[in-house]
């Protein structure tokens, strides 16, 4: 090693050790696992150890030694197993039989391993890399909360107060639905950059704070509510805000469920904007980390499919929850 590396300092840098001299470097008693140390050891054996002093211990050699010790004679071996070998050196190792016996003995553990390995790898990746779960939970929570606050208030104002510009505002809201979200990414990015909000939760939440489709949908539903309810609330002395929170919103649960579902899907499944607005790894969401997982070398397609299955479970659960609310809002009034 002294001849190969020159000095102990270079050896330590190559092998990531902290020896003070070559006298402390141990001779490997087993096959080295470190690739660099293994290469040094193989070169040493090939260059310094005579061929007659080398003894390669393999499973095949141990199997032949076992047969020789048990049967001693090749004729007895051939008669026992029905073989036609001329010496014990011609006997090959029964890999197929050993693999089969090992599989039969450890079949339950094999099944558990192959059924859970991909999912375990994905879960380990997303739970140990950055703050993917925390960032995604905060983003989804803030987005749904803001959506259920801003959009109903805007739609309620358009429905209850007949302003001259109501129709123009509705046309403007409908016009925003004609453009994909990617069109607004550049101006949103420049605005948030000027406001110094990049790499913050504000950059993730603010662009989707209000939605033209949600406001239009809520206004149409508010318009369909009986005006007698509002007149009765006014006679009873309820304020406008109390009427909104205690009367209008409880009747709007099915629509709010649809809006919440859309907001959850947009926030939870959003990748492009989350990656564009937050370059800091500590602010990356779950979808960004899943994309990075898919781009890692050595990741097979079946592992990527396992990642997609795992990240789709929350969306399925939220959809089932919102679906029950939507059905109760549609079926129950018709039954009454």
Q: Residue 38: pLDDT band by 50, 70, 90 thresholds?
A: confident
Q: Residue 330: pLDDT band by 50, 70, 90 thresholds?
A: low
* CATH number listed for the domain at residues 126-335: 1.10.3720.10
The most distant pair of C-alpha atoms in the chain lies apart, rounded to whole Å, by 111
pLDDT for 181 equals 78
pLDDT for 146 equals 92
Q: What is the mean pLDDT of the chain?
A: 85
**Mean pLDDT in residue range 63-89:** 88
pTM of this structure: 0.66
User: What residue segments make up the domains of the chain, in order of their start?
Assistant: 2-53, 59-105, 126-335
């Amino acid at each position: 090693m002294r001849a190969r590396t020159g000095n102990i300092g270079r050896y330590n840098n190559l092998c990531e050790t902290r020896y003070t001299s070559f006298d402390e470097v141990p001779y490997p008693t087993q096959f080295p696992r470190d690739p660099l140390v293994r290469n040094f050891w193989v070169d040493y054996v090939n260059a310094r150890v005579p061929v007659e002093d080398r003894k390669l211990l393999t499973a095949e050699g141990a199997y032949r030694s076992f047969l020789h010790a048990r049967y001693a004679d090749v004729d007895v071996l051939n008669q026992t197993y029905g073989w036609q070998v001329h010496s014990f050196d011609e006997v090959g190792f029964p890999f197929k039989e050993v693999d089969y016996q090992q599989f039969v003995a450890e079949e339950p553990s094999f099944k558990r391993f192959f059924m859970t390995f991909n999912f375990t790898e994905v879960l380990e990746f997303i739970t140990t890399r950055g703050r993917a779960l925390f960032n995604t939970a905060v983003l989804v929570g803030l987005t749904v909360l803001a959506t259920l606050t801003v959009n109903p208030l805007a739609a309620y104002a358009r429905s209850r107060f007949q302003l001259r510009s109501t129709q123009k505002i509705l046309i403007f809201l409908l016009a925003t639905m004609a453009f994909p979200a990617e069109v607004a990414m550049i101006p949103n990015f420049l605005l948030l950059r000027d406001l110094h909000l990049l790499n913050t939760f504000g950059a993730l939440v603010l662009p989707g704070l209000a939605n033209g489709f949600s406001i239009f949908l809520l206004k149409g539903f508010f318009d369909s509510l009986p005006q007698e309810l509002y007149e009765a609330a006014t006679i009873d002395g309820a304020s406008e805000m109390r009427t909104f929170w205690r009367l209008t919103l409880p009747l709007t649960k099915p629509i709010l469920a649809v809006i919440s579902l859309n907001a959850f899907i947009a926030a939870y499944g959003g990748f492009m904007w989350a990656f564009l607005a937050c370059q800091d790894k500590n602010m990356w969401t779950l979808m960004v980390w899943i994309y990075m997982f898919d781009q890692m070398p050595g990741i097979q397609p079946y592992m990527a499919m396992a990642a997609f299955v795992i990240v789709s479970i929350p969306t399925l659960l939220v959809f089932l929850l919102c679906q029950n609310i939507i059905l109760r809002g549609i079926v129950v009034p018709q039954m009454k």
